[in-house]
Structure 1
């Protein structure tokens, strides 16, 4: 629980906040994964899905005890700790993949965490993340046209987010931390016509505004 910013209400969230199995992120799991780490594993549902898909050994890190205890029954090893507090306990050159499903934006220093975790990956290991997109058109409109920056219980403007990212800044974060981008694509896109209309005069340069999040697969250099 250390390194979690004080005053941020992580507990009083909607019932499904910590229980989303994230099937859209499971689709990015590389072939042949034998060892995986799920950072912010919550109750272990996503890690269990990895085990079911490929039979991998799955470890988890979860800072909240009530969720971490549930994950213990589903995963092979679980640290009930902040990621900062668990890094030194992880074996070096061990994991084929490390997942951050909507976690990096909650960390005070996600940049150094990505750097420190490189040694925990195998030589061909990957980091996979889902990160909210602050340029999502509904959020962008509220900021640009209404002048509002209102925090909410969940979503892009989640009051527990301490970092905010765009499509470009996610790439910069990984590259500066010593990773090579394998894939980087928008997920959970809106069906609204507004992003398409906005992009007509912009010649498609703001197509990233359609997506709530970006899913990134990066390989350590």
Structure 2
């Protein structure tokens, strides 16, 4: 099954998110960005509007890639690999993986491939779903279930699952230094608050469906 067959069932909204919650993590003054898994280019367009930067994107979904050409500077309709002739002469100030790494068989290889694409002070910014999100843990503990869904943390197209701790390990073992990791899209489940209180406020990570990782290559 190729990519377009595997993801063809996705609702159109899956490809339209602008991801405004990522903007606070973007360094000011970036001149160039690469959005891996750029979908229809909504986030890339937001980057261009906010920072005035050049934005390239890689998107394997053909329909989305075609639409993205109207929103960003260059779109490569392909899967991201470590050998892309279109990127051979390019360097970027920021490379984005907005809920993408969990869809890859080898996310570590994708991060390694980015090293030659980053400017000396460039950063990788990745939004990654958190498998320790309270509703997922509740489903395991109370309902004894691991149920896939069409989107979200339990998206059926996810190949990898991460906790905050294993996100950091993924980047560090790939040769990066994590400069920031922060939960986004906070939820407020009343039973989570009780659980966190009982466990001496040690479970704050369970309140976030995603974390954003900002990482760079060590000096």
Q: TM-score range by the shorter chain?
A: over 0.9
Q: 1:137 aligns with which of 131, 134, 157?
A: 134
Q: Report what 2:87 is aligned to.
A: 90
Alignment match of 1:103 (pick from 100, 106, 109): 100
Residue 37 of structure 1, CA deviation: 0.3
Instruction: Render the CA deviation track for 1:6-27: whole Å, top value 9, x for unaligned.
Output: 9x73111123111010100122
Contact 2:82–2:110 (CA under 8 A) maintained in structure 1: no
TM-score for the superposition, normalised by structure 2: 0.94
Looking at structure 1, the residues matched to 142 and 56 of structure 2 have their Cα atoms a distance apart, in angstroms, of: 44
Moved more, 142-151 or 81-90: 81-90
What are structure 2's unaligned runs of at least 5 residues? none
> Which position in structure 1 is the counterpart of 2:35?
38
| 1:216 positional shift | 0.9
Contact 2:149–2:155 under 8 Å retained in 1: yes
Report the secondary structure of 1:156's partner residue. coil
- Across the aligned residues of Structure 1 and Structure 2, the Cα RMSD in angstroms comes to 1.8
Which residue is equivalent to 2:169? Answer: 172
Q: What CA deviation, in whole Å up to 9, does each residue of 1:130-168 have, x standing for no partner?
A: 111000000111112221111111111100000000000
Partner of 2:34: helix, strand, or coil? Answer: strand
1:220, distance to aligned residue in structure 2 (A)? 1.4
How many residue pairs get matched? 218
Structure 1: gaps (5+ residues): none
Residues 81 and 113, structure 2, Cα contact 8 Å, conserved in 1? no
Once the two structures are superposed, residues 47-88 of structure 1 have per-residue CA deviations (whole angstroms, 9 ceiling, x without a partner) of 011011111010000001111011112211110000127644
Q: Which has the higher helix share?
A: 2
Residue matched to 2:55: 58
Deviations 1:162-216 (A, max 9, x none): 0000000000001111111111011011122222211122212211000010011
Asked if structure 1 preserves the Cα contact closer than 8 Å seen for 2:41 and 2:67, the reply is yes
